[in-house]
Structure formats: structure tokens, C-alpha cells
Amino acid sequence: MTHVLVTGATGTVGRHVVDGIRDVPDLAVTAASRDPVRARDRLDCATVPFDFTVPATYRDAFADVEALFLVRPPALSRVRRDIVPALAAAVGAGVEHVVFLSVIGADTNPFVPHARIESWLADAGLETTFLRASFFMQNLSTTHREEIRNGRLAVPAGNGKTSFVDARDVAAVAVRTLRTRTTGAYDLTGPEALDYDAVCRQLSAVLDHDVAYTDPSLPRFLVSRYRLEGDLAKVGVMAAIYTTARLGLADRVTDDVHTVLDRPPIDVRTFARDNRSAWL
């Protein structure tokens, strides 16, 4: 039996990793959370208190753990200060295999925090699996949920295409690599790259109302999104992501999901159908 600690277990990908591990007889799961009681209620599995920024939580969290599903919380960008101490504790506690939720392009862009985490893990002598995921379809049902409900999606991506991936596929690949203890790096995308006009057409086909795409200027997006989010760092990251798409740098499609799972990745239409209730 391999004991897996899932960080980010209450998040978009981690919750599906917890679900997936439950179905694997040779794996046992513990969900790490800053609020383990709430996490246990939501996930119905063993939980442990864990906070990257609170070293006192490390010892119990990593006790008897052989494999780690590692999620960098979006708010923690200072890798050396906020992430590395926990990773060092995991190594000290005997963790052998780390499956890290990274981001597509982390191998060529040293400025993303994921690149620094990959580099630290590679030097630590662990077995590592890097899941370099494209943009999650779930951003449409979380961050952009209200807009889509109201029939208008405003992102400054122009006609640029994005190879959206369903977080459920990312989680399924994670569970497979944890079960088979497969190391290496995978670029995880959906089956095709779509521009936001096409995404809105897919959403309109599934919902009872039309969803229109508007392409605001970058300053306009920054101002209106900041009013909504009140978090400058988050809005800055969003602007960078949509600008990358606008420049045609987010459209690479790979076979990696298909290769690992032996089935095609989930497409945007299926994602929209499965999550229809989010926008009603």
C-alpha cells in the first residue's frame, strides 16, 4: 500500500485526485488542508492540517507518506520562502515520489514559479513526475462563471487559441502516474485549441442563453477585473495568461493525455455539458 498525501486537495485538480485514488486498491490517500475539518466534510477521506507557510504542520502531514501530489497554491509565488521549506521536510520525512501540478511551458519559461519548483525537485534526488497543464476549462465555471451566466465573456485574448484541458483529465493522469510510479514530464492539453469565440459558441449550444465574446483592451480588462477581484496579483496573472493566448503562444496541442489514459481528452463541449448547472 502506498500512502499518498494530496496537497491542494480541496482545489480544482486535487479534489479529483482524491476521488481517483479512492478507486485504486494499492493507494491510500490523506488530504492536506489548512482547514482539515471542512476538508473531511467535503472530501470524505482522512485529512491532516497542512499549511506551506506554517512549518509546525509539516511533521504530522508528511509522517508515513511515500508519495506526494504537489499543488503550488496560486497565492504563493515566492518559492524559496513559501514552498521549498515544506519540500525539504517532505524529503527529510522519506517521501520518495512527487507528482507536481506544473504549468505548460515551465520547461522554457524560468520566470514562472513552477519552473523553480521543478528545478528544486529535480535536484533533490526524488522520483519526479511533472504534469505541465494547459489552461483549465474549469476557469470558465469558476473565475468566469458570473459573466457567462450573464451572457458575455470578456478576456483580452483576441483571436488567439488556447488548448484548454479539463482538470479531471489532469487529475486522472496524476492518479495513473501515482499508481504506476511513472516519472517524467507530460504536457497536458485538451484535444484541440479554440479561440474564445469558439468557446462561447460551444457554451451557447449547451446553455439556454447565448454567450458572446468581447475582447476588451488590456487596460480596460485590468481596471474592470480589478474592481471585481480586488487582487492585483491575480489580475496581473490573468492578463499575462490572456496576452499569451492573444500572441498565439497557448495553442499547442499534445497527445500526452491520450497516451497516458488510453482515451482521448475531454473536449470543451463535454465539459460544458457536464458543468451546465454552474451557469444556470
Binding site for ligand NAP (CB under 6 A): 7-14, 33-35, 39, 50-53, 71-74, 101, 103, 133, 135-136, 139
Smallest separation, CB 25 to ligand NAP (Å): 25
| Residues 166 and 136 sit within 8 Å (Cβ to Cβ) | yes
Q: Based on CB atoms, which residue is closest to ligand NAP, 162 or 202?
A: 162
Closest approach, Cβ 94 to ligand NAP, in A, equals 20
The enclosing H or E element of 172 equals helix 167-180
Cell of 43: 472530501
- Which of residues 11 and 27 has its CB atom nearest to ligand NAP in the complex? 11
Q: CA neighbours within 13 Å on the CB side: how many for 130?
A: 21
Rounded least distance, CB 122 to ligand NAP, Å: 17
For 196-267, where are the alpha helices, taking DSSP H only? 196-206, 218-229, 232-246, 256-261
Q: Is 7 helix (H, G, I), strand (E, B) or coil?
A: coil
How is residue 213 written as a grid cell?
A: 465574446
Residue 34 CB, shortest distance to ligand NAP, in Å, is 3
- CB of 117: closest distance to ligand NAP in angstroms? 9
Give 136 or 279: the residue with its C-beta nearer to ligand NAP.
136
Output 169 or 215, the one with its CB closest to ligand NAP.
Answer: 169
Return the number of the residue (34 or 149) whose C-beta is nearest ligand NAP. Answer: 34
Beta-strand pair 67-71/2-6: parallel
Q: From CA 155, how far away is CA 48, in angstroms rounded?
A: 38
Q: What would you measure as the largest C-alpha separation in the chain, in angstroms?
A: 54
Q: Toward ligand NAP, which CB reaches closer, 90 or 133?
A: 133
Shortest Å distance, C-beta 141 to ligand NAP: 12
At residue 211, the 3 state secondary structure works out as: coil
